[in-house]
Amino acid sequence: MPGGVILEAVGLRKYFVKGGGILGGPRRVIKAVDGVTFTLRRGETLALVGESGSGKTTTGKLVLRLLEPDSGRIIFDGEDITHLPESKLRPLRPRMQMIYQDPYWSLNPRKPVGEAVAEPLIVHGLASREEARREALKLLERVGLTPPEDFYWRIPAQLSGGQRQRVVIARAMILKPELVVADEPVSMIDVSMRAEILRLLKDFQRDYGLAMIFITHDLSVARLVADRIAIMYLGRIVEMGPADAILEDPRHPYTAALITAAPSVRLRRRRRYEIRGEIADPSRIPGGCRFHPRCPRALERCRSEEPELAESEPGRLVACHNPLPKGWLSKWLSSGGAS
Ligand SMILES: Nc1ncnc2c1ncn2[C@@H]1O[C@H](COP(=O)(O)OP(=O)(O)OP(=O)(O)O)[C@@H](O)[C@H]1O
Ligand SMILES: [Mg+2]
What are 78-98's pLDDT values in tens digits?
999 999 999 999 999 999 999
339 compared with 275, residue with greater pLDDT: 275
Atom 16 (ligand 1) nearest CA: 55
In this predicted structure, the answer to whether residue 339 has a pLDDT above a threshold of 60 is no
What's the confidence (pLDDT) of residue 1?
57
Separation CA 66–CA 101 (nearest Å): 16
What's the confidence (pLDDT) of residue 159?
94
Return the ligand 1 atom nearest residue 58 CA. Answer: 18
C-alpha distances in angstroms, 2 versus 74, 120, 192, 234, 296? 19, 27, 30, 29, 37
> Percentage of the chain with pLDDT > 70?
98
What value does the mean pLDDT take over residues 12-41?
91
Atom 24 (ligand 1) nearest CA: 52
What's the confidence (pLDDT) of residue 2?
67
Measured CA angle at 205 (ends 200, 211), to 5 deg: 135
What value does the mean pLDDT take over residues 313-320?
95
Query: Does the CB atom of residue 282 touch ligand 1 within 6 A?
Result: yes
Domain extent listing, the chain: 5-105+179-190+208-273+308-335
In this predicted structure, the answer to whether residue 134 has a pLDDT above a threshold of 70 is yes
CATH assignment of 5-105+179-190+208-273+308-335?
3.40.50.300
What are 283-297's pLDDT values in tens digits?
999 999 999 999 999
Query: Does the CB atom of residue 101 touch ligand 1 within 6 A?
Result: no
The number of angstroms, rounded, from the C-alpha of 108 to the middle of its chain's C-alpha atoms is 24
Atom 8 (ligand 1) nearest CA: 58
Residue 122 CA, ligand 1 centroid: distance in Å: 32
Query: Does the CB atom of residue 50 touch ligand 1 within 6 A?
Result: yes
Query: Does the CB atom of residue 55 touch ligand 1 within 6 A?
Result: yes
The most distant pair of C-alpha atoms in the chain lies apart, rounded to whole Å, by: 68
Residue 124 CA, ligand 1 centroid: distance in Å: 29
Return the ligand 1 atom nearest residue 59 CA. Answer: 18
In this predicted structure, the answer to whether residue 46 has a pLDDT above a threshold of 80 is yes
In this predicted structure, the answer to whether residue 20 has a pLDDT above a threshold of 90 is no
Which ligand is in closest contact with the Cα of 282? Answer: 1
Which ligand is in closest contact with the Cα of 56? Answer: 1
Q: Which DSSP symbol is given to 303? A: G
What value does the mean pLDDT take over residues 164-173?
95
What are 59-80's pLDDT values in tens digits?
999 999 999 999 999 999 999 9
Q: Which residues contact 195 (CB under 8 A, 6 or more apart)?
A: 224
Residue 58 CA, ligand 1 centroid: distance in Å: 6
